[in-house]
């Protein structure tokens, strides 16, 4: 009578090569998804920061008298004249890399500025009681955030631009 021979245990070289190939493909897929996830996180953080900065700008503009919106520095004029036929002047604010409003400079880019916000004020002629006469009652605002900006090259065009729209009405 023959004695049964034990079956061989282990893996063949082909099985090992196939399993290593599957593991390598899975690892490459995970690494490529990591890059997409990091980029998505960076964009989401920037969008949150832009929303915070626009909230600061709109809060400051809503805190001043409506007629002061037409001025270049609306927060510095306590009793502005009622705008007649003069066009509104754009207002520029600068923010640090963490979204803190930088103040204290009257011209140029303040040190530490990374974001620039230019507020264009567009009066709504239809909001007048009688079109063509009297003061405006609503202003459309166009907030243009650009980054990065630097004090060394303020005239250079920043590579990133985000535009947000808002409106303020006279109460």
pLDDT confidence of residue 74: 81
pLDDT at 10: 83
pLDDT at 8: 73
DSSP state of 75: G
Task: Please tell me the predicted confidence (pLDDT) of residue 169.
Answer: 87
Each residue's pLDDT expressed in tens, for the chain with a length of 171 residues: 677 666 778 889 999 999 999 999 999 999 999 988 999 999 999 999 999 999 999 999 998 888 888 888 887 766 666 555 567 889 999 999 999 999 755 567 888 889 999 999 888 767 666 655 556 788 899 999 999 987 666 566 768 999 999 999 887
C-alpha torsion angle, residues 142, 129, 68, 116 (rounded to 10): 0
For the chain, which residues make up each domain, given as ranges? 33-169
User: Under a CB-based contact definition with an 8 Å cutoff, are residues 151 and 110 in contact?
Assistant: yes
- pLDDT (tens digit per residue) in 28-57: 999 999 988 999 999 999 999 999 999 999
DSSP E strand stretches across 56-137? 91-95, 101-102, 115-123
Cα 25 to the center of its chain, rounded Å: 37
What distance in Å separates the CA atoms of residue 44 and residue 46, rounded to the nearest whole number?
5
Q: What is the 8-class DSSP label of residue 100?
A: P
């Amino acid at each position: 009578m023959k004695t049964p021979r034990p079956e061989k245990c282990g893996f063949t070289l082909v099985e090992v090569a196939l399993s290593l190939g599957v593991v390598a493909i899975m690892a490459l897929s995970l690494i490529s998804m990591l890059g997409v996830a990091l980029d998505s996180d960076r964009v989401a953080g920037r969008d949150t920061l832009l929303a915070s900065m626009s909230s600061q700008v709109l809060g400051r503009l809503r805190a001043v008298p409506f007629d002061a919106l037409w001025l270049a520095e609306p927060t510095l004029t306590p009793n502005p004249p009622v705008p007649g036929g003069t066009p509104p002047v754009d207002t520029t604010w600068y923010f640090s890399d963490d979204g803190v409003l930088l103040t204290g400079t009257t011209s140029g880019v303040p040190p530490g500025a990374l974001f620039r916000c230019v507020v264009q004020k567009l009066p709504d002629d239809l909001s007048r009681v009688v079109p063509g006469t009297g003061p405006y009652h609503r202003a459309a605002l166009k907030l243009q955030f650009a980054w990065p900006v630097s004090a060394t090259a303020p005239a250079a065009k920043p590579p990133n631009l985000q535009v947000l729209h808002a409106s303020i009405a006279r109460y």
